Amino acid sequence: MEFTSQTSADGVVQRLFTTGDIPGALWSPADATDDRPLILLGHGGGQHRLFPGVVGRARWYVNGGGFAVAAIDLPGHGERPKTDQDVEFIARFRDRVAQGLPVSDELAEFHADLAARAVPEWQSTLDALWTVDGVAAGGPVGYAGVSMGTAVGVPLVAAEPRITAAVFGLNGGGQLPELAARITIPIEFVLQWDDEMIAREDVLALYDAFASKEKSLHVNPGRHTEMPLYEVESSLRFFARHLI
């Protein structure tokens, strides 16, 4: 793991790093003198580790809860090269959206393939993050990621006992319910009532599938990308309850 840059703004230090060929970012409180519980952020489709919504959520968790927060560019996203298959999928996906055709089967297949590549990457990133000063090695770890961040996060959490609380949502179907049935950690789960991309029944079925004793589903009106900001605030309190 190699740190390539460090900047600081409004109480938050942002350190960019690479682990092998995976570019990452780590945010932490500028005034921290001790190790902090870690939250991993999974970005959405077409996004990357420095996407405004990712950085905004990271800063929220650092400033509001004193957490250390990390994100990586997933395969084919951000600074990482796209495979021919990625390019083909994106073209087909955009075509279907433009034609108003359903995309959930295509998405589920693409996401399952992406997750198979991304889960080991997240695991080795977590290994590396636990060696970093300011990150509480061996401590509780949270994961937050909706949409594609859930498609990767559910297999990750199913495989990774170090993650002890997770925020998911805006996804369902495919392999996810079967994997969710193995997950017992506390879950906060968001659903957009008028989601045009993922069928409501699939999202409800995924919530239903988690074996967790504590799992809250938060539904709000609006389309896939219109989740209200107060859900980010709510997820911070969820992590504060479970990680601190």
Q: Does residue 226 touch a second copy according to CB under 8 A?
A: no
Which CB, 113 or 202, lies closer to a second copy? 202
Task: Rule CB under 8 A: choose which of 30, 202, 214, 224 binds a second copy.
Answer: 214
Specify whether the CB–CB gap between 190 and 218 falls below 8 A: yes
For a second copy, what does the binding mask look like between residues 157 and 196, x meaning CB under 8 A?
------------------------------------x---
Which CB, 76 or 169, lies closer to a second copy? 169
Q: Does residue 89 touch a second copy according to CB under 8 A?
A: no
Q: Does residue 207 touch a second copy according to CB under 8 A?
A: yes
Closest-CA residue to 189 (of 179, 173, 204): 204
For a second copy, what does the binding mask look like between residues 113 and 142, x meaning CB under 8 A?
------------------------------
CB within 8 Å of 161: residues ≥ 6 apart: none
Which CB, 91 or 199, lies closer to a second copy? 199
Q: Does residue 205 touch a second copy according to CB under 8 A?
A: no
Q: Does residue 197 touch a second copy according to CB under 8 A?
A: no
Smallest gap from residue 180 Cβ to a second copy (A): 13
Q: Does residue 230 touch a second copy according to CB under 8 A?
A: yes
Smallest gap from residue 210 Cβ to a second copy (A): 9
Binding site for a second copy (CB under 8 A): 193, 207-208, 212-221, 228, 230, 233-234, 237, 241
